[in-house]
Amino acid sequence: MNKTPEEKTKSEDKAVVKEESNENALNEKETKEKDLEDIETYLKEHPEMVVTAKDSIKHMRCGSVDVHKKILVAAICITDPTTLAACYIVQRFSTKNANIETMAEWFQKYEVKDVIMESTGKYWIPVYNILEGKGLSPILTHPKYVKQVRGKKTDIRDAIHMANLLRMGHYVASFIPPSDIRDVRELCRYRLKLTYIRTGEKNRYQNCMTVSQVRLDTVLKDPFGKTAQAIMKYLLSVDPDKASDEEIAKLINPRVKATTEEILDSIHGYCFPQVQRDKLQVISDHLNWLDKEIGILDTSLQEKGKSYAKADKTSQESPWN
């Protein structure tokens, strides 16, 4: 089939465009290959340098600390603003407070502000606190976010790897509240643990009562209330044969819902072996001590909470609540 002059012109134009696109692709490929050769040559001449695009760099100067129990491996990453090449300076420090302060001064000497570290056990806490106190901006991250390739791990490589992640912004920071909030959280957590211990001791106390055939918990709402504790103190102070129902009746608070007969029936036939007496005495002393310590923590928390009373009142008065 013969083509019209217009069709011939269109096919010729398509051939020219295709030829030009092939030529452009070839030139682009050659340019990329040449650039790669130039980069490889530069890196061979400067093996300690790492070159990257400028818009990818988030921190021109940054640091990292690989935290261990006895040693700290610190690295500083400095990026040249002209060549965008990164060089790393690594130094070891001990975990003594004086050496951590020396490390902070070492960072400041190189004008490093941001320092990243892993949350290794509790060992990171003194490092974080000292660096923060020296005016640096420590960044805490979970180890899984800065994990190295298996078989390539050394302390120096880990420190350099973390510094490079911070340099490029490839990290996930953990939330660390201000120091005053951390103090409140520490007290609250410790108070909670003491409360758990107190609950465990109360359970042991009730188990001793059950083994000793004292069933006050079946008739009294609170086996650790004033009436129950007064009766238990009396029972522990006398022999079962010498216990008097009249004396026990005097210890019952009039506001108790259970009748005197029900309370006495829950006690009759009790027997305190010496082992149970000793356990109950120790548990009772421990419970008194726990109540005292929890009271001390409550007082401290109230004092620290006064500084937030105004903010709390403002939030309560907010129209959005």
Q: What is the pLDDT of residue 17?
A: 45
What's the CATH number where 197 sits? 1.10.287
Q: Do 301 and 204 belong together in one domain?
A: yes
- Whose tokens are 């102070």? That residue is 237
Q: What is the pLDDT of residue 311?
A: 62
Q: What is the pLDDT of residue 19?
A: 55
* Measured distance CA(314)–CA(321) in Å, rounded: 11
3-state secondary structure of 118: strand
- pLDDT for 264-295, tens place per residue? 888 888 888 889 989 999 999 999 999 999 99
Residue 277 lies in a domain: yes
Q: Which residues of 108-144 are buried (b: 16+ CB within 10 A; e: fewer)?
A: eeeebebbbbbbeeebbeebbebbbeeebebbbbeee
Nearest 5°: phi and psi at 173?
Answer: -80, 140
Given a cut of 80, is residue 238 above it in pLDDT?
yes
* Measured distance CA(181)–CA(187) in Å, rounded: 10
* pLDDT greater at residue 147 or residue 167: 167
> Residue 136 is part of which domain span?
55-168
- pLDDT for 213-230, tens place per residue? 888 888 888 888 888 889
Q: Which residues contact 81 (CB under 8 A, 6 or more apart)?
A: 60
Domain count across the chain: 2
For range 97-104, the mean pLDDT: 95
What's the CATH number where 106 sits? 3.30.420.10
Share of the chain above pLDDT 70, in %: 78
What does pTM read for this prediction?
0.68
